[in-house]
Amino acid sequence: MKRLLILGAGGFGHMIQEMAGLLGYEEAVFLDDAVKGADVVGKCCDYRAFVKEYDTAVAALGDNGMRLYWTEKLMEAGYYVPAMIHPTAVISPSAEIGNGTFVMQRAVVNTNTVIEHGVLINSGAVVDHDSYVACGAHVGLNSVVKANCNIESRRKVEAGEVVFSTRRKIDGVASRDLEDALYAFGFGPQCSYVKPFGEGHINETYAVYMPTEEGDEFAYILQRVNNNVFKDPAGVMENIFGVTEYLRNVIREEGGDPDRETLSCIKTKSGCTYFEDSEGQPWRCYNYIPNSVCYQLVEEPEQFYQSGSSFGHFLKQLGDYPASSLKETIPDFHNTVKRFENFTRALKRDIKNRAAACKGEIAFVLDREKDCSVLVKQQEEGTLPLRVTHNDTKLNNILFDADTGKGLCIIDLDTIMPGLAANDFGDSIRFGAATAEEDEQNLDLMHFDISLYELYVKGYLEATKDVLTPEEIESLPWGARLMTLECGMRFLTDYLEGDTYFKTAYPEHNLVRARTQFRLVDEMEQQFEKMQEIVRNYC
């Protein structure tokens, strides 16, 4: 016979007695200190005496503290103390319901919610997903506990009350905007901690760690986009989602792993491609790709060969993607003529009175005005076709497989737009064929390494020579010269304008960067015929 001992013979106790009949109990009797009746077999203090006769018991007491106290006493005494769930209640299979908890008529407990022991979820109440109701609490009639809430032990949620999510402290979160972003993408309730990540000049990037059975795991990359630079965040994210979703299909057809070989973008909980914080700054999120590494500088020649192969393959994969559908999120980004015009305007204004400190660098740029139009003119004449280009093809925008050392995934797709193959090629060379970092203050350490240039040419043309036109192949050395010159101009322009674009660590930082680029340009000019010969050798 299935029998139940109920502590408390008041109105709530009789509701549980009635529920017991619906749940298949053939007998349900009471212990109560005040009520008398045929089905009251003793006082509450007699509970130990009935453990053999009634091995199953619950504490049906309306007072939260007393219900919790007696639930724990019954468990300590060896009773089986079940959760009592009304047949009309709706309980998610992933929800956890503790011992001695009561879920009454038409109550709802949703996905991944935890209800501890000795809790009362009253008739019509809703506890939404990913919430936590601590022991001895009472969620009242027709009340609503919204998603991601924490209800404290012994708390009473009044009838009809709506409880909204309360945020928890997350280690590493020092601003409300970062916290808002974590919650916008759904990480707030579970996130273990966050910390700064990467070495980019433009955006603010964080590593997001989530708990697993094995410990905290680096799971996501959360990034605040600099909308002083990217003034059309919706367009940026439309480009990125479009290209990465397209690449997933291409990679799958190639037999690759789309979860590792392209970025996987995540939408907000409301389905948006990005989240806008209280300051109007956009945030976006990607899955982190584990077992991958990123290099700030070429450490082994093979890495630069892999870089050429990776960016070449990237261009080839997007060969059939409609370049015209991409938003031009930074107009004239690699229009070197317009960059020169921006430079001369900044020089004329000289709003920080810095021109006197960089006369040599200014003269270097002015002497190369005619060079700036070489590729732009060919594009305007239709000699060089527009392609889907990355437009920021530095070595550190490639993830390498940590085990094989092979190029794995192209990242940092903010500037993916229509452009010239020569521009992507050239930006890789100006960054990767240099013997020092772009902000090296000792110019004696900065040189153009033509052997690294040759390795990149080999990797790039192996991936693209059946895609690029002969004119595009001939334009590649010019791409190296002009992208390096353009980058130097941009650093120098920003220096003259007061460092509003690139992150700087000290007042002369952008000027130092400009000087390294101009050193590379000078050495490329000296070896330009050799650069052209190398390209022709690998056609």
Quick count: other Cβ atoms within 10 Å of Cβ 142?
Answer: 15
Nearest by Cα to 381 from 513, 471, 461: 471
Residue 231 confidence class, pLDDT cut points 50, 70, 90: confident
The pLDDT value recorded for residue 49 is 94
The DSSP result for 7-36, as a single string, is E--SHHHHHHHHHHHHTT-SEEEEE-SS--
The pLDDT value recorded for residue 200 is 65
Element (H, E) at 480: helix 470-497
Length of the chain: 539
Nearest by Cα to 438 from 297, 229, 294: 297
Fill in the DSSP letter of residue 300: S
Give the pLDDT mean for 531-537: 96
Strand ranges (E), 98-237:
102-103, 108-109, 114-115, 120-121, 126-127, 132-133, 138-139, 144-145, 150-151, 156-157, 162-163, 193-196, 204-212, 215-224
- State the Cα–Cα distance between residues 114 and 94, nearest whole angstrom: 9
Q: How far is CA 1 from the centre of its chain?
A: 56
Exposure on the CB side of residue 194, measured as CA atoms within 13 A: 25
- Global pTM? 0.70
The pLDDT value recorded for residue 225 is 87
- State the Cα–Cα distance between residues 465 and 104, nearest whole angstrom: 71
Residue 227 confidence class, pLDDT cut points 50, 70, 90: confident
Instruction: Tell me the domains of the chain and their CATH numbers.
Output: 1-82 (3.40.50.20), 83-166 (2.160.10.10), 176-261 (no CATH), 292-537 (3.90.1200.10)
Give the pLDDT mean for 265-286: 92
Residue 201 confidence class, pLDDT cut points 50, 70, 90: low
Give the pLDDT mean for 222-248: 90
The pLDDT value recorded for residue 148 is 83
Give the pLDDT mean for 229-236: 85
Does residue 108 carry a pLDDT above 80?
yes
The pLDDT value recorded for residue 298 is 79
The string of pLDDT tens digits covering residues 282-332 is: 999 999 999 999 988 778 889 899 999 999 999 999 999 998 899 988 888
The amino acid that residue 213 corresponds to is E
The string of pLDDT tens digits covering residues 55-66 is: 999 999 999 999
Give the pLDDT mean for 507-530: 98
Nearest by Cα to 390 from 244, 254, 290, 252: 244
Does residue 280 carry a pLDDT above 80?
yes
Give the pLDDT mean for 130-150: 94
Helix 359-366 and helix 509-526, axial crossing angle in degrees, nearest 10: 40
Q: CB neighbours of 409 closer than 8 A, spacing ≥ 6?
A: 260, 261, 262, 263, 289, 292, 398, 399
Element (H, E) at 508: none
- State the Cα–Cα distance between residues 167 and 184, nearest whole angstrom: 12
The pLDDT value recorded for residue 367 is 98
Give the pLDDT mean for 230-235: 86
Residue 499 confidence class, pLDDT cut points 50, 70, 90: very high
Strands 282-287 and 138-139: unpaired
- State the Cα–Cα distance between residues 204 and 240, nearest whole angstrom: 18
Nearest by Cα to 425 from 393, 464, 465, 451: 393
Taking CB atoms within 8 Å and a gap of at least 24, the contacts of 40-48 are 40/9, 41/5, 44/7, 44/8, 44/70, 47/5, 47/7, 47/73, 47/74, 47/77, 47/79, 48/77
The amino acid that residue 94 corresponds to is S
H-helix segments, 288-366? 301-317, 336-349, 359-366
DSSP-based three-state secondary structure for 425: helix
List the structure tokens of 512: 């130092």
Which residues pair with residue 225 across a beta bridge? none
The string of pLDDT tens digits covering residues 402-449 is: 999 999 999 999 999 999 999 999 999 998 999 999 999 999 999 999
Which residues pair with residue 150 across a beta bridge? 132
* Residues 20 and 84 sit within 8 Å (Cβ to Cβ): yes
The string of pLDDT tens digits covering residues 164-196 is: 887 788 999 989 899 999 999 999 888 999 999
- State the Cα–Cα distance between residues 221 and 416, nearest whole angstrom: 19
For the chain, what is the mean pLDDT?
A: 94
* Residues 20 and 3 sit within 8 Å (Cβ to Cβ): no
Give the pLDDT mean for 97-104: 98
- State the Cα–Cα distance between residues 474 and 201, nearest whole angstrom: 31
- pLDDT above 70 covers what percent of the chain? 99
